[in-house]
Structure 1
Amino acid sequence: MALAIFNLADPSAIFVIFITSLWPTIINTALGVSSVSQDFIDVARVLEMPRWRQIYKIILPASLPYIFTGLRISVGIAWLVIVAVEMLTGGIGIGFFVWDEWSRLNLSSVFLAVLVIGLTGLLLDFAIVQIQALVTHRRPATSNS
């Protein structure tokens, strides 16, 4: 549908990547804002705190873990969609490389490319975790299983 609307591969690809990766961040941000304790909001009202300051001092800090969770999911989805779009549109990129090597039955190159795709995804996730630690001044919770 995006290709029919834009008539060009690049704008269509950017639109598809944007529209597929946007929703986890929006949904998690909404969840984070709605999960702010009503007690904090009530205290801000009692102190007659302006609405912009409530957002900056109470709502945003309480929502940041949710926002970063949404960003981590969105980046993962965007990375997968980028690879898939490159497979479909052709030309350049790791997705095109995987498709081209698969067509040539060069499986060792396909496995190497899949490894590179996975490692790049891990590095992107690690980078967001580091940014989250800098912004929120704490490490995200991890499971010790």
Structure 2
Amino acid sequence: MLNLEELSLQLSAIIAERSYIDGNQLYEQALKYLPRLNKFMFNIHAHIINTSSIEIDLPSNDDIRNSFIKRGFQSVGTCATKPLIDNVGDCHVYSLPYLFDDCLFLSNCFQGGQFNKVRMLMMRDRYPFEEKLF
């Protein structure tokens, strides 16, 4: 994969007792091994489950967005649950413009008008949705 120039990544991960995936973690564990990558579109969903009594320090939407911006991704959207609700949380981070056909686990913190190509939508109602979403 050293010669890979373009990558479209859709990733959904269940993570036990750790934090959300951010730009630094993605770079250190994957992207730094792709030196010729010049186009990267992504939609990453992390579902956090905390079964321990130790509180997980979760980054804010701005912290997650800034970690991607520092790695050279200027147009990034984020939607993260903070704090955990019943020891469970979700975080989406995605490149803009959003070019994927589906959006899974949409919650009420997504900004409207960014998902023009989405044909399949799955929503989760932990917080009530606002009418203006539709």
Q: Determine if the TM-score, normalized by the shorter chain, exceeds 0.5.
A: no
Point out the structure with the larger strand share: 2
Task: Give the TM-score range, shorter chain.
Answer: under 0.3
**TM-score (norm: length of structure 2):** 0.28
Q: Which has the larger radius of gyration?
A: 1
